[in-house]
């Protein structure tokens, strides 16, 4: 894989104090809960607040971030994996200056990367040191290897659930597998598409009841994205709701989520690099093998 010669993008100004890069994985137990919508709007709201944000579409075989944003990439991560180009060649500018790294859609090969290819991809991301404050990773739903490894390699994991019994059951299963593979014991939970705060708290409570009974993990309730017709209207416009309808209930909720995320404890990395991303990816690979041994 060609990982050399990657150009540094939007290098920080000499007057800007360096800060460790925060990597936030957004995942879910099943599709249809609005995970990609959450990823896009969180990334956009963070960028609108003045942060340098990269949005990685890590649903490598069934990507849709570019479609949801009306972008038309000429190259994707599939081309990077194939050695046809570097990361700098696939970056597309999205809303509010978000830099989007698109993946491929309908390419089964991308959903079945080898261990070496996944680690090689992490090497490529390490070349982006100092170019971003936050990376939001939109993972594939479920517990496929690609999705699990991106969750394992990120500092923060947001699990998106909605008022669907299968969503809650599958979210529990995803948390369980990640916990068993990596010993990650803290997850942040976002309840999406609810009609009342009471409904959201009930959904969160059901998930906590299951994890408290069977797992040694802590779940943090990070908020609610209300059901809002503006989300669908924004999607038809191929735009995030935070830019298309910023004063809408959902738009306001996403901005609150972004403000909260920016106040989470800073990464322990000593500099604004993605070295931890690669290190955690390699460590999770080793731990996963030991767990299966």
Per-residue pLDDT at 182: 81
Which pLDDT tens digit goes with each residue over 31-53? 999 999 999 999 999 999 999 99
Report d(CA 210, CA 169) in Å as an integer: 9
pLDDT category of residue 149 using cuts at 50, 70 and 90 = confident
- With 60 as the cut, is the pLDDT of residue 241 above it? yes
Per-residue pLDDT at 18: 56
The average confidence (pLDDT) of the chain is: 84
Count of other CB atoms within 10 angstroms of residue 89? 15
- With 80 as the cut, is the pLDDT of residue 124 above it? no
pTM attached to this predicted model: 0.86
pLDDT category of residue 13 using cuts at 50, 70 and 90 = very low
Per-residue pLDDT at 60: 79
CA separation (Å) from 143 to 24, 30, 81, 179, 222?
17, 9, 22, 12, 22
Fold of 22-292: Rossmann fold (3.40.50)
Which pLDDT tens digit goes with each residue over 132-141? 899 999 999 9
CB-based contact 87:5 (threshold 8 Å): no
Which pLDDT tens digit goes with each residue over 267-288? 765 333 444 565 555 455 545 5
3-state DSSP of 185-222: CEEEEEEEEECCHHHHHHHHHHHHHHHHHHCCCEEEEE
- With 80 as the cut, is the pLDDT of residue 121 above it? no
Which pLDDT tens digit goes with each residue over 175-216? 999 999 888 999 999 999 999 999 999 999 999 999 999 999
């Amino acid at each position: 894989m060609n990982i050399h010669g990657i150009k540094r993008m939007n290098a920080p100004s000499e007057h800007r104090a360096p800060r460790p890069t925060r990597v936030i994985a957004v995942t879910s137990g099943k599709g249809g809960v609005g995970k990609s919508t959450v990823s896009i709007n969180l990334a956009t709201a963070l960028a609108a607040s003045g942060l340098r944000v990269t949005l990685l579409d890590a649903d490598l075989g069934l990507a849709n971030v570019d479609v949801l944003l009306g972008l038309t990439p000429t190259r994707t991560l599939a081309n990077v994996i194939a050695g046809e180009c570097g990361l700098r060649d696939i970056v597309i500018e999205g809303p509010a200056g978000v830099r989007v790294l698109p993946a491929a859609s309908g390419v089964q090969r991308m959903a079945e990367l080898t261990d070496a290819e996944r680690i090689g991809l992490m090497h490529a991301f390490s070349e982006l040191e100092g170019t971003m404050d936050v990376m939001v990773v939109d993972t594939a739903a479920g517990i496929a290897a690609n999705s699990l490894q991106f969750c394992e390699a990120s500092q923060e994991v947001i699990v998106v659930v909605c008022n669907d019994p299968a969503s809650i059951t599958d979210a529990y299963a995803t948390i369980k597998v990640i916990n068993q593979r990596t010993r990650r014991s803290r997850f942040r939970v976002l309840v999406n598409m609810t009609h009342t705060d009471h409904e959201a708290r009930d959904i969160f409570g059901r998930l906590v009841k299951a994890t408290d009974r069977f797992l040694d993990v802590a779940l943090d309730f990070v908020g609610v994205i209300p059901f809002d017709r503006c989300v669908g209207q924004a999607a038809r416009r191929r735009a995030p709701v935070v830019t298309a309808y910023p004063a809408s209930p959902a738009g306001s909720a996403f901005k609150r989520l972004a403000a909260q995320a920016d106040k989470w404890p800073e990464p322990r990395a000593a500099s604004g690099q993605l070295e931890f991303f690669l290190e955690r990816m390699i460590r999770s690979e080793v731990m996963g093998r030991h767990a299966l041994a």
